[in-house]
Amino acid sequence: MNFTKNNPESYLSFLVVKSVLFWLVAILASMTILTHIAQVSGITFKIYARLGLFLTLGMSLLAWNFFRRQYGQRVLQDLGTLSFLILTGLGGAFISSFFHTGAGKVSFDLFYYVPNAVYYLQNPDLPMGFAIHFMEAGSEPITSYFGATSLPYEYTLGVLAYFLNIPYLSAFFLVSPALLGFLIPLTLFYLVAQFVDPKPAAVGALFAVAIILLLGETPRTPGTWSFPNVFIGKVFFLSTGIPLFAAATINFFRTYSLSDWMLTFAVTTAMVGATSSSMALLPVLTIAVVIACAAANEGSYKQFLKNAITYAFSLSYLVLYTLLMFLNFHSDLSANSPVNEDFPVTFLGHAGFFFEKSGPATPLALLGATVLGLLMTSGKTRRFLLAWIGAALVLFLNPIVSPFIIKYLTTPNIYWRVFYVYPLPLLLGLTGAGLYEYVEKYSRTVRLAFISGTVFLLFIAHFVPFTTSVLYLRTEFGWPRYKLPARFEKAASDVIAVVPPGPMLAPLPVNGIITMLSGNYPQMRVFTDAERVWFRERGLGTEIDQRICASEFVNGDEPDCLPAFQTLLEYENLRSVVIAKNTAADPRVQNALTRNGFANSKEIGDLLVYWR
Higher-confidence position of 114 and 6: 114
User: Among the listed ranges 17-31, 118-132, 139-153, 262-276, which one has the minimum average pLDDT value?
Assistant: 139-153
In sequence order, what are the beta bridge partners of 135?
Answer: 523
pTM exceeds 0.75 for this model: yes
pLDDT at 327 over 90: no
pLDDT value of residue 92: 96
pLDDT band at 241 (very low <50, low <70, confident <90, very high): very high
Q: pLDDT-derived band of residue 103, with 50, 70 and 90 as boundaries?
A: low
Query: Which residues lie below 8 Å from residue 295, measured CB to CB, with a gap of 6+?
Result: 383, 384, 386, 387
How far is the C-alpha of 459 from the C-alpha of 365, rounded, in Å? 16
Mean pLDDT of all residues in 388-410: 95
Given this model, what pLDDT does residue 295 score? 95
Whole-number pLDDT of residue 90: 97
- Give the pLDDT score at 477: 57
Give the confidence band of 285 by pLDDT, cuts at 50, 70, 90.
very high
Question: Tell me, what DSSP letter sits at residue 500?
Answer: P
Neighbours of 366 (CB within 10 A): 20
Among the residues of 526-586, which ranges form H helices? 529-537, 541-554, 562-568, 581-584
pLDDT tens track for 573-597: 999 999 999 999 999 999 999 999 9
What pLDDT shows up at residue 46?
98
Q: Can you give the pLDDT at residue 480?
A: 66
Options 1.25.40, 3.30.70, 2.40.10, 3.40.50; CATH of 486-611? 3.40.50
Query: Does pLDDT of 331 surpass 60?
Result: no
Distance between CA 437 and CA 378 in Å, rounded? 14
What element of type H or E holds 576? strand 576-580
Backbone torsions φ then ψ of 38, nearest 5 degrees: -65, -40
> Which pLDDT score is estimated for 102?
64
502 phi-psi bin (left φ>0, alpha ψ -120 to 50, beta other): left
For the chain, first and last CA: distance in Å?
70
What's residue 474's pLDDT?
A: 61
Higher pLDDT, 477 or 178: 178
Q: Are 496 and 518 in contact (CB under 8 A)?
A: yes
Q: Report yes or no: 146 and 329 within 8 Å, Cβ to Cβ.
A: yes
Predicted confidence (pLDDT) at residue 22 exceeds the cutoff of 80: yes
Q: What integer pLDDT is reported at residue 448 of this predicted model? A: 86
> 415 pLDDT exceeds 60?
yes
By 3-state DSSP, what share of the chain in percent is helix, strand and coil, each rounded to 5? 65, 5, 30
Q: Which residue has the higher pLDDT, 141 or 385?
A: 385
Confidence class for position 565, pLDDT limits 50, 70, 90: very high
Q: Where in the sequence of the chain do the CATH 3.40.50 domains occur?
A: 486-611
> What is the reported pLDDT for 269?
98
Q: Which pLDDT band holds residue 476 (cuts at 50, 70, 90)?
A: low
Kind plus residue range of the DSSP H or E element containing 97: helix 79-99
Among 357, 260, 332, 261, smallest CA distance to 533 is for 332
Q: What is the mean pLDDT of the chain?
A: 93
**Would strands 576-580 and 607-611 be described as parallel, antiparallel, or unpaired?**
antiparallel
